[in-house]
Amino acid sequence: MLSQGFVSAAAIAASVLFILSLGGLSNQEKAKRAVWYGIIGMAVAVFFTAFGPGIGGYWLMIPMIIIGAIIGTRLARRVEMTEMPQLVAALHSFVGLAAVFVAWSADLERRRVLAARAADGVMQDFSAFAALLAHKAPDELMFLQVEVVLGIFIGAVTFTGSVVAFGKLAGKIDGKPRQLPGGHLLNAGAAVLSLLLAILYLNGAGFWTLLLLAGLAFFIGYHLIMGIGGADMPVVVSMLNSYSGWAAAAIGFTLSNDLLIVTGALVGSSGAILSYIMCKAMNRNFVNVILGGFGGSTGPAAEIEGEQVAIDANGVASALNDAESVIIVPGYGMAVAQAQSAVSDLVRKLRAAGKEVRFAIHPVAGRLPGHMNVLLAEAKVPYDIVLEMDEINDDFASTDVVIVIGSNDIVNPAAQEDPNSPIAGMPVLKVWEAKQVFISKRGQGTGYSGIENPLFYKDNSRMFYGDARESLNALLPMVD
């Protein structure tokens, strides 16, 4: 068993590695090294925590760690990049549920300590955690109760919210916003009842208050995320990431684990900052995001006139051969078709012909922040031609050809032209300002969010129907 000095030193080292990991993830070229910082930091944290003072039960802990590692490895190898958003949501749910279980267990141990003190002060067969509690003063035990309440509430909201987000991202739950009759009043009522239960618990009520508190928080998490539309799921994922971090921090306070507090705070704060950045990118109010009050329209959407005009590979190739500047806008459809390699091949041919080729990345393209950047990096697309929306949005008006691959909401002019659109006010890529726009799309459907896109009906737009990878592979031989 390791001494407390070793554990404290390891906690500092792991915290530094986590900070380096977060800092490196802001740059695509440093991201791989940053991920390794995180992996090493977590390995250090788990090892030195598991073998620190007062820790036992290795006969159960070690097999569980091995089983968890095997399951995690198999899942990571099987999950495609298209499924990464729902995997992240599922992992958030585990953190939330763990917080609930730890908080429940902590309170049961607290009650054992208080019962022993009330009897004769003799404590036998106590866990290491209960032995730690036995040395705490009454006011410290009261503070523990506050930690328990926060851990249960945040953890339960994170759990059911993440489960619903997983269902929506995986297509198992309808992506449209759904709420029970009463809407936000139900959430507010559940929150008020949760507060009353917390007050009762802090004033000596039984364990039943924590069970009811968890039940209400489970409902709030479910109802909040059910009320958010599919177009806003990327923000929801980052928001739940923040919740899971704060749930982990609450566990850290309960267990007196400094490393868990630091790690949870890092995840919680970085997730909150990312949510705020994405809200700005989507012109959403941050408070409304937290309350689940967005994702729906305010009235009937504007009627769309015209028709979608199709074009074949020959027509697209001819336009590309005549163009001098090309911008490619990738979306979730590229991920579904696994077309990133074909896109990379097309870019190499166009650049070899002396054409200016760049990518325009919307902050919420795909279903996870950075989704498109990861796919393009995987396909060896040069980092310097992958530009964010603010860097390239003014260049569409002087661009010859734009190719949109599986995007819908992020190139939808209704965001600027229709105040009743579910995405009204959201900054979008102004692809319609280019001379010609080709949209690679499977069919005439509205896509994941269910929002109609007037771009598809504009005079300078043509629909390049078919699977994105197959369409691009058919196009490649015709490009000079």
Catalytically active residues are 409
The residue written with tokens 């629909």 in the block is 463
First to last CA, the chain: 67
Which residue from 418, 428, 415 is spatially nearest to 361, judged by alpha carbons?
428
Q: Which residues pair with 404 in a beta bridge?
A: 329, 439
The sheet carrying 386-388 orders its strands as 386-388, 356-361, 325-330, 401-405, 436-441, 461-465
Q: Which residues pair with 358 in a beta bridge?
A: 327
Helices (H) and strands (E) in the chain, counts: 18, 6
Contact 332, 366 (CB under 8 A): yes
Task: Say how far apart CA 367 and CA 36 lie, in whole Å.
Answer: 24
Q: Which residues pair with 198 in a beta bridge?
A: none
Task: Say how far apart CA 47 and CA 284 lie, in whole Å.
Answer: 42
Task: Say how far apart CA 462 and CA 437 lie, in whole Å.
Answer: 6
Q: Is 384 left (phi over 0), alpha (psi -120 to 50) or beta?
A: alpha
Which residue from 305, 301, 303 is spatially nearest to 419, judged by alpha carbons?
301
Contact 160, 219 (CB under 8 A): yes
The pairing of beta strand 401-405 with beta strand 386-388: unpaired
